[in-house]
Amino acid sequence: MYIRKKYRELLNLADNEFIIPATFQKFIMEREKLHNLIIKGKRGICWCTCCGHNFVSQTKVNCLIKCPNCKQKLLVKTDRLQSYIFKDNLQLLDKIQDTFVLRTFELYSYYSNNNVSHNITEFMRTFIENNSAIDFVSDQVCNHMGYMYVSHFRPRKSWRGRNYRWSYRDIRGMVCPYGLKRILSKTVLKYSQLDTFISKERDYINFVDYFTRLAHYPSFELLIKMKLFNLAKSADKFRSGKNFQEVFGVPKTFYTFIKKHNLSYEQLEVLILIKKEDIKLINKLLRFNNLEELSRYVDLEEAYYKVLKVKRNNEYDYLDYLKACVELQYPMKDKKVLYPKDLKFEHDRVTNLVEVVKNEANDRLIKQRLKTLNQNIYQNDKYIIFPAPSIESLIEESNQLEHCVKTYSQRYALAETDIYFLRNINDKDKPLVTIEVQHNNIVQARIKHNDNPSKEQQKFLDLWQAKILHRIVG
Ligand SMILES: [Zn+2]
């Protein structure tokens, strides 16, 4: 793949100048310690691959345990384990000339024969300039059936542009916090607190996004200074405000709670709605999508424990149910209405009722319309045409002809369109052709399955339109 001359030169320069600084070495060693196991043998005798310490524990395989000697929290595995692989992306922000480069390394650790060996290989360099980032990968990056892996035992010979079609494990990684403050000190991010954030956040992040966008929001610096590290990840969602209430949506008395539980933006959104320092409830409510709308009708805490918590209930049915209750003018302060014992049953009951009420209202309107529309009744010795007389007749017409005229009932009732039935004069109860008329013009005529009427029926319809709808005296 072609690499622009400028980047080609920078890559060559970096190959000569880049080193592994002592600060990054320290970071690697910290991460290496986590790439260890507790090997459990007979009678619960455990052995720590990190420090070699032996101890007895009844902790189960695949659980985490803290080594009593080196204090590392590690995964317990059986002594029958043949091999085990750890992989982590570690990242270092560096600079070549005036260009920032995010260097990505893979820390690859391999356990076998009671021994863990570690390898570190720099496989990607991301040049960050003017808020855009371009990735280059080394020829140690291989592709096996679309899955990318790093070949640690092949020496690096060259760099190439990243192939974005490959499923890389993305450009996310754990960023080295040491020395970051110094490298940021000559940039606009000098006071952004990004270095503090990185030193607290010991997890994978998309550093480029923080470096080019998120950390530039004034709210980012503010949130870090307030020690609200998870909220800082959504710094872009905060608008400025005169006081705590305006910025966070809750009174300042909630600050200690938000900080203590390091709330995320999604958790804060729930807190704003429930206004209660209850982290368990907040986490339980997190999985619902319509909390804001639900909160207009019900108390979310009560709604959760009485309705939403029940497995077969879902929030969409609940919302449907509540809206139907409002339409039916039920007392919306009555707890029996708000928190039904059997949601499924009550939901079906009230939604049917709403349908019936709606149909009744529409039926009354249709009956009134007939006074005028009946003037258009027309017949010859074979056919008769007359306006749809009721909601019931529309439903029957739909069912028998298997089309959807019943969905027109509301518009028909409101005089937005007119519906007529064409039938045999000797069999007036049997649906045959359904006609829609607008502004005295036939806009569609349909027989069963939405097919067109016969030639004879069409001729009769044309005559009706001319003589009756258009009042042409023949
Ligand atoms: Zn240990």
Reported as a single tens digit per residue, the pLDDT across 352-379 is: 999 888 889 999 999 999 999 999 999 9
What is the per-residue pLDDT for 164?
A: 66
Q: How far apart are CA 211 and CA 417, in angstroms?
A: 59
Distance 38 CA to ligand 1 centre (A): 8
Give residue 170's pLDDT band: very low, low, confident or very high (50, 70, 90): low
Tell me the C-alpha to C-alpha distance, in Å, between residue 439 and each of 288, 399, 436. Answer: 47, 27, 10
What is the per-residue pLDDT for 168?
A: 52
Environment of ion ligand 1 (residues, CB < 5 A): 48, 50-51, 53, 67, 69-70
Distance 176 CA to ligand 1 centre (A): 24
Which of 171, 169, 90 is closest to 136 using CA atoms? 171
Distance 205 CA to ligand 1 centre (A): 28
What is the per-residue pLDDT for 404?
A: 84
Distance 28 CA to ligand 1 centre (A): 18
Distance 72 CA to ligand 1 centre (A): 6
Q: How far apart are CA 358 and CA 363, in angstroms?
A: 9
Distance 148 CA to ligand 1 centre (A): 32
Tell me the C-alpha to C-alpha distance, in Å, between residue 289 and each of 57, 116, 280, 295. Answer: 44, 45, 17, 12
Distance 367 CA to ligand 1 centre (A): 86
Distance 29 CA to ligand 1 centre (A): 14
What is the chain's mean pLDDT, rounded? 92
Which of 149, 128, 129, 121 is closest to 207 using CA atoms? 128
Q: Which helix (H) or strand (E) element contains residue 368?
A: helix 343-373
Distance 54 CA to ligand 1 centre (A): 8
Distance 365 CA to ligand 1 centre (A): 82
172 φ, ψ (degrees, to nearest 5): -80, 155
Q: Which long-range contacts (CB under 8 A, 24 or more apart) does 83-89 make?
A: 83/110, 83/111, 83/112, 84/37, 84/110, 84/111, 84/112, 85/109, 85/110, 85/111, 86/34, 86/35, 86/110, 86/111, 88/31, 88/35, 88/173, 88/174, 89/169, 89/172, 89/173, 89/174, 89/204
Distance 361 CA to ligand 1 centre (A): 77
Q: How far apart are CA 213 and CA 193, in angstroms?
A: 14
What is the per-residue pLDDT for 27?
A: 96
Give residue 407's pLDDT band: very low, low, confident or very high (50, 70, 90): confident
Examine the pLDDT at 464 and tell me if it is beyond 70: yes
What is the per-residue pLDDT for 165?
A: 64
Distance 55 CA to ligand 1 centre (A): 10
Give residue 169's pLDDT band: very low, low, confident or very high (50, 70, 90): very low
Model pLDDT for residues 281-332, shown as the tens digit of each residue = 999 999 999 999 999 999 999 999 999 999 899 999 999 999 999 999 999 9
Examine the pLDDT at 3 and tell me if it is beyond 80: no
List helix spans (H) across 102-193.
180-184
Distance 378 CA to ligand 1 centre (A): 97
Distance 75 CA to ligand 1 centre (A): 12
Distance 53 CA to ligand 1 centre (A): 5
Start-to-end CA distance of the chain, whole Å, equals: 81
Q: How far apart are CA 284 and CA 267, in angstroms?
A: 10
Residue length of the chain = 474
Q: How far apart are CA 433 and CA 421, in angstroms?
A: 6
- Average pLDDT rounded to a whole number, residues 40-67: 94
Model pLDDT for residues 185-234, shown as the tens digit of each residue = 988 999 999 999 999 988 899 999 999 999 999 999 999 999 999 999 99
Here the tokens at position 206 are 């998309």
For 288, other C-beta atoms within 10 Å of its C-beta total: 18
Distance 40 CA to ligand 1 centre (A): 13
Distance 81 CA to ligand 1 centre (A): 18
Instruction: Output the pTM of the full model.
Output: 0.75
